[in-house]
């Protein structure tokens, strides 16, 4: 019973394809996030949702679209994948928008060929 689970763990796909990464948390948290860890190992926030509403949308191409059907789920859909999208994507959650203690999923390694 993983607290924050994301699927798939590995995703290998061709340039131009559309793919989705799913995330679910069973902690009862009301804020969820997507972070990206690039080749330089920086962890950068992409999106933040509080109670299904978008709070943060950092400078991310609009090919990336988060979708939150309910406060326990935050999925990430990526259109027209590019080589530069290859990275590890982490889902996370916290209690309240101001809660700095994040609980992370195990990550999705995306490789675009």
Cα 79 to Cα 68: distance, rounded to the nearest angstrom:
17
CA distances from 87 to 32, 67, 108 (A): 19, 20, 8
User: Does the protein bind other proteins through residue 101 (CB under 8 A)?
Assistant: yes
φ, ψ for residue 85 (rounded to 5)? -80, -10
Judged by CB under 8 A, the residue of 33, 68, 87, 112 near other proteins is 33
Least Cα distance to 90 among 45, 41, 59 occurs for: 45
DSSP 96: S
User: Does the protein bind other proteins through residue 46 (CB under 8 A)?
Assistant: no
Which of the ranges 14-22, 44-52, 63-71, 76-84 carries the binding residues for other proteins, by CB under 8 A?
Answer: 44-52
Sites for other proteins among residues 53-72 (CB under 8 A) = 55-56
Judged by CB under 8 A, the residue of 106, 110, 112, 113 near other proteins is 106
Which residues of the shown chain bind other proteins in the complex (CB under 8 A)?
4, 9, 31, 33, 40-45, 48, 55-56, 90, 92, 94, 97-107
């Amino acid at each position: 019973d993983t607290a924050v689970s994301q699927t798939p763990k590995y995703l290998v796909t061709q340039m131009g394809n559309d793919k989705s990464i799913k995330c679910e948390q069973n902690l009862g948290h009301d804020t969820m996030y997507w972070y990206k860890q690039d080749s330089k190992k920086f962890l950068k926030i992409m999106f933040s949702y509080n109670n299904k509403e978008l709070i943060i949308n950092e400078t991310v191409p609009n090919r990336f679209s988060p979708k939150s059907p309910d406060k326990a789920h935050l999925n990430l859909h990526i259109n027209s994948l590019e080589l530069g999208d290859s990275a590890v994507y982490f889902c996370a959650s916290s209690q309240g928008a101001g809660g700095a203690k994040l609980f992370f999923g195990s990550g999705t390694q995306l490789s675009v060929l």
